[in-house]
Chain A
Amino acid sequence: MSNYYVYGVVRAADDLEFETDAVAGADRVYTVSHRRLAAVVSDIEETEPEQTDEDAQRHDDVLREIMEYGDGRTVVPMRFGMVFENERALKNVLRGARPAFRRAMNDIEGTVELGLKLVREEDADVDGEAIEATVADELEPLAVESTESDLFSDRLVLNRSYLVERVDREAFDEAIARFEDEHDDLLVQYTGPFAPYSFVDVHIGAQ
């Protein structure tokens, strides 16, 4: 019998079903509802899927498809690798974590996550603090919230994720483009939209 691989949680009223290239070779994504919440899942054989680059990418892509489904859906994203062995276990989690899911859902309603990495050119000598201040002035007013990520390379000057209302997306894109034009000594990596991983904190135990 097949297990359920979970991508995220939506409102039950937003139930959905579509065909796509899903994790571990599955080709259909659908919802399993419990009262007012629904888990978005695909079928999977194994209970501990290995996180290959391809499947990690599929997980992200499916979440993006969910976000763009219909007129746009709000989804509380799960990290890669969450599998449930039967419908009851899955519904138990939806029931047990209901307050956390509803809170998270409210926090991210109508938003997307965007990522910004600024990397100095190899020989460039840049003023990190000044850049940070400029970015904050330009971007923070357009974001609901932002969070700092690890500077894992000494070439990295800034690494942040932004939670942005869909309606402010265009203004945000433009602000980034302006910043890029004005900074020749920086390489800009602007990514997304992603499901807002960095702004939800729902921990559930898979089983």
Chain B
Amino acid sequence: MFILDDLLFRPFVGVIDALHTIALDELYDLEGLEDELKENQLLYELGERSEEEYEREKERLEEELEIAREVHEELASGRVEVKS
């Protein structure tokens, strides 16, 4: 029974894993965050964003980027096993 169980469920779990990884990739979108940082800088330089808004946004984005980098490193290292 164990063998049957294994055969039946492994592929299924595999697909969930892959989907979950893709979802995490999108959730922690490095490129998107880097683009937002550049946009923030640009709009500040053009005088459209106040220094206060700029600093607040920069801090928020840098924090998110740091978390995103950690998640990506963990995923790439293979140490994390994502289960449904």
Contact of B45 among A155, A156, A189 (CB under 8 A): A189
* B residues less than 8 Å from A189 (CB atoms): 42, 45-46
Is A187 in contact with chain B by the CB < 8 A criterion? yes
* B residues less than 8 Å from A153 (CB atoms): 35, 38-39, 42
B26 to chain A, nearest CB (A): 18
Bound Cα distance from A119 to B39, whole angstroms? 10
Which applies to chain B's interface (DSSP): helix, strand, loop or mixed? helix
Q: How many interface residues does B have (CB within 8 Å)? A: 9
* B residues less than 8 Å from A117 (CB atoms): 42
Bound Cα distance from A150 to B39, whole angstroms? 11
B27 to chain A, nearest CB (A): 20
* B residues less than 8 Å from A187 (CB atoms): 46, 48
* A residues less than 8 Å from B45 (CB atoms): 189
Whether B46 lies near A152 (C-beta < 8 A) is no
List B13-30 residues whose CB lies under 8 Å from chain A. none
A-contact bits for B39-60, CB 8 A (1 contact / 0 none):
1001101101000000000000
Residues of B within 8 A of A (CB): 34-35, 38-39, 42-43, 45-46, 48
8 closest Cβ pairs, A-B complex: A153-B39, A152-B35, A152-B38, A187-B46, A189-B46, A119-B46, A152-B39, A189-B45
